[in-house]
Amino acid sequence: MKILITGGSGFVGSNLAVYLSQKGHQVTCLDNLSRRGSEILLSRILELGCDFVHGDIRNPEDFGKLKGSFDTLIECSAEPSVLVGTEGDDARYMLNVNLAGSLNCFEYARKTGAGVIFISTSRVYPYTRLNELQFVERDTRFELKENSQGVSINGVSTKFDLKGARSLYGATKLASEVILEEYAHSYNMPAIINRCGVIAGPWQLGKVDQGVFTFWLTAHYFKKNLKYIGFGGKGKQVRDLLHVLDLCELVEKQLAALPKYRGEVFNSGGSRPVSLSLLETTALCEEITGNKVSVMQSPENRPADVIWYVTDNGQTEPEFGWKPKRTPKEILQDTFNWIKENESRFSKLFNS
């Protein structure tokens, strides 16, 4: 299968490119290389046989650089930080990349007859509604106190109410979902939408606002101080995490089944068994690295902070015969091994 991956030199895109190329697919990556470290990820995908086109999804004419046609477009390009635009700065940049850029991708797919797999986000679920749920405080984490519409102890399902504030990032991804659903129905375009939670694993250049588990691990590895922010400053807020290879395995299964879908939405996260609080993450990072760092406390919440989010994969697992296989410790251990093997290559990025 001929596959185009937009954002192909990012963390998710490059991992998908390498994985699918090794499975025998012909993969082309499109990326503007604007993010720090993307040139290193580019060298990896080129070494492993992927094609690359330098282009920006914000510019429709850049799609003209692509040669031939593709069976499937996997849309991974995004500004993934929920903090961008919270004070007005870079709001237009966020809208141009995540919304206008995705529209250009879908229009390219329509014109060329490609199917689409869209990598969306759990951030489409409003943090205002999530934080209004009732929680109990345990020794190491907050837990959901009682079930509500679209949410249970197993996590947040696709039936969760979408009314409320979700951050500009979440809003742009939700708007892109809606547009893709319309494209799929209007033009009979094969399309799948994956709402992913936190994705982690090797080759993630973790930052606190987009790769928190990798960020936490690298801080322990390089012995940098940390801070529990929000919800009392105790580090008991919870997120699930998904190994990037678990996501790659899901996408591989979806590629084979894509022709029968027309914009259906699937949750694609680590689920409850693969969830951690920051406090629990600290303990695991200390165990894996052998290092202990100072962790300060800041009780005030930042914009769009979430006290608890766990993915209920719902129909995703039976629909595709898939479920997350890697545990939180395995994900962090894999990341640690990668950091250790590549310390000299990435230390400047991690310590900046």
Give the pLDDT of residue 206: 60
Give the pLDDT of residue 347: 75
Predicted confidence (pLDDT) at residue 86 exceeds the cutoff of 70: no
Tell how far CA 302 is from the center of its chain: 20
Q: Which pLDDT band holds residue 34 (cuts at 50, 70, 90)?
A: confident
DSSP bridge pairs for 191: 116, 262
Give the angle subtended at the CA of 158 by the CAs of 156 and 164, to the nearest 5°.
75
Give the pLDDT of residue 88: 65
Quote the longest CA-to-CA distance of the chain.
57
Predicted confidence (pLDDT) at residue 350 exceeds the cutoff of 80: no
Nearest Cα to 196, choosing from 230, 153, 243, 149? Answer: 243
pTM over 0.85: yes
Give the pLDDT of residue 209: 54
The CA–CA distances, whole Å, from 43 to 3, 8, 25 equal 19, 12, 19
Give the pLDDT of residue 79: 79
Mean pLDDT of the chain: 94
Cβ distance 55 to 43 under 8 Å?
no
Quick one: average pLDDT of 113-134? 97
The CA–CA distances, whole Å, from 159 to 23, 152, 294, 318 equal 34, 11, 40, 17
The CA–CA distances, whole Å, from 280 to 209, 233, 269, 328 equal 18, 14, 19, 10
Predicted confidence (pLDDT) at residue 349 exceeds the cutoff of 90: no
pLDDT above 70 as % of the chain: 96
Q: pLDDT for 207-265, tens place per residue? A: 655 589 999 999 999 999 999 999 999 999 999 999 999 999 999 999 999 999 999 99
DSSP conformation class of 209: T
Nearest Cα to 217, choosing from 123, 155, 289? Answer: 289
Classified as helix, coil or strand, 29 is strand
For residue 96, give both structure tokens.
């141009």
Dist CA 56 CA 64 (whole Å): 11
Fill in the amino acid letter for 134. Q
